[in-house]
Amino acid sequence: MRFKKHIELEHGLRPFDIAPLIDIVFQLLIFFMLTSSFIMQPGIKVNLPKAVTSEVVKENNIVIVVSREDVIYVNSKVFTLNELKSYLSRNNNSSRPILIKSDKRASLGRVVEVWDLCREIGISQLNIATDQE
């Protein structure tokens, strides 16, 4: 009487088909490559207005961001106008320029308020960030 085990051993082991394994590995590789590019980086989303005459500024600026909702940020922290005034008067000497990054859908009134506040403190170097066309 022969058992099934002995029959398989006598005829040799069946070859192992690795094609489905390779397909699954490639699908996993493609999945991770595609999803890794969609990782969001933290920060404040601002769509800058476009300008033909914009220049590249490469100085150490204090960056003030005015978002679409008219919220003022400095170093990713929310500020009111009074807090911004006290922050700028404490941390800025008049030689350090200020860069205002305003979303193109932010109200012009809020940008002008920030601009006037900086002028009131005595900051002479103010820039508005734009994208080049």
CA-CA-CA-CA dihedral for 83, 85, 87, 88, to nearest 10: 160
Per-residue pLDDT tens, the chain, 133 aa: give them.
555 555 555 566 667 788 889 999 999 999 988 887 666 656 666 666 666 565 666 667 788 899 888 899 988 889 999 998 898 888 776 667 888 888 888 888 898 999 899 888 888 788 887 776 6
Q: Which helix (H) or strand (E) holds 133?
A: none
Whole-number pLDDT of residue 27: 95
Whole-number pLDDT of residue 13: 63
123 neighbors 85 (Cβ within 8 angstroms): no
Whole-number pLDDT of residue 29: 93
Whole-number pLDDT of residue 122: 84
Whole-number pLDDT of residue 127: 81
Whole-number pLDDT of residue 93: 65
Which domains does the chain possess? Answer: 4-36 (no CATH), 50-132 (3.30.420.270)
**Edge-to-edge strands, sheet with 72-74:** 77-79, 72-74, 62-66, 98-102, 126-128
Whole-number pLDDT of residue 44: 62
How far apart CA 67 and CA 43 sit, in angstroms, is 11
How far apart CA 23 and CA 129 sit, in angstroms, is 48
Whole-number pLDDT of residue 36: 75
Looking at 1-133, list the stretches that DSSP marks H as alpha helix, in order from N- to C-terminal side.
Answer: 4-11, 19-36, 81-91, 108-121
How far apart CA 125 and CA 131 sit, in angstroms, is 19
Q: Which helix (H) or strand (E) holds 70?
A: none
Whole-number pLDDT of residue 26: 95
